Amino acid sequence: MTLPADAITYKGNPCKRGHVGWRYRCGSCIECAKIMGAERRRENPELIKEIRQRWWAKNPERAKKLARESFLRCRAKNPERMLESRRRWDKANINRIRPMMAARNAARYAAKIKATPIWANRNEIRRFYENRPNGFHVDHIIPLKGKTVCGLHILENLQYLPALENCKKGNQLSTAQNDEHPNDLP
């Protein structure tokens, strides 16, 4: 909790519970206030829930930002726990995930078909996919749906990349491609 500097003061004498330290300007001990707040939240969970919901309704942008920051902090501290949590959620919600995955795959397939010109050699492209080494992905050097440029689904635009490297690259031109053709980008 962050307070303005003039809202707190230091007192050397102990409070009723024996805490020696910072106090609010009104004189109450900050440690005691934390303890009482925790007790209040434990004793009145429904009231606290209602208060939080009202605050979220009044401050949607701020609430969204705080929730995102909290999530990112938690994910950074506990990556394994977050991954396991995500896997449990995926398993419990497989009926919600399957349609989303099917829609995403259909959109990707449609983009690939749309980006395949009539003159492309489809048999060679199929062979390129079939000959993919284990642990590698087939990557489009110039992405089919990039932010600045869109490539074609042709043999000359395909390459094998290690799976992890391809996932990191995402929908972007590789840095090697940018270095080779620096003037091609806006």
22 pLDDT tier (thresholds 50, 70, 90): confident
Give dist(CA 23, CA 29) in Å, integer: 4
Region 96-108: mean pLDDT is 84
pTM: 0.44
- CB-count burial class (<10 Å; 0-12, 13-18, 19+) for 143: buried
For the chain, state the CA radius of gyration.
Answer: 28
Q: Could you read off the pLDDT of 71-90 as tens digits, one per residue?
A: 899 889 999 999 999 899 98
Q: How is 9-69 classified by DSSP, letter by letter?
A: EEESS--TT---EEEETTS-BHHHHHHHHHHHHHH-HHHHHHHHHHHHHH-HHHHHHHHHH
Number of neighbours of residue 49 by Cβ within 10 angstroms: 11
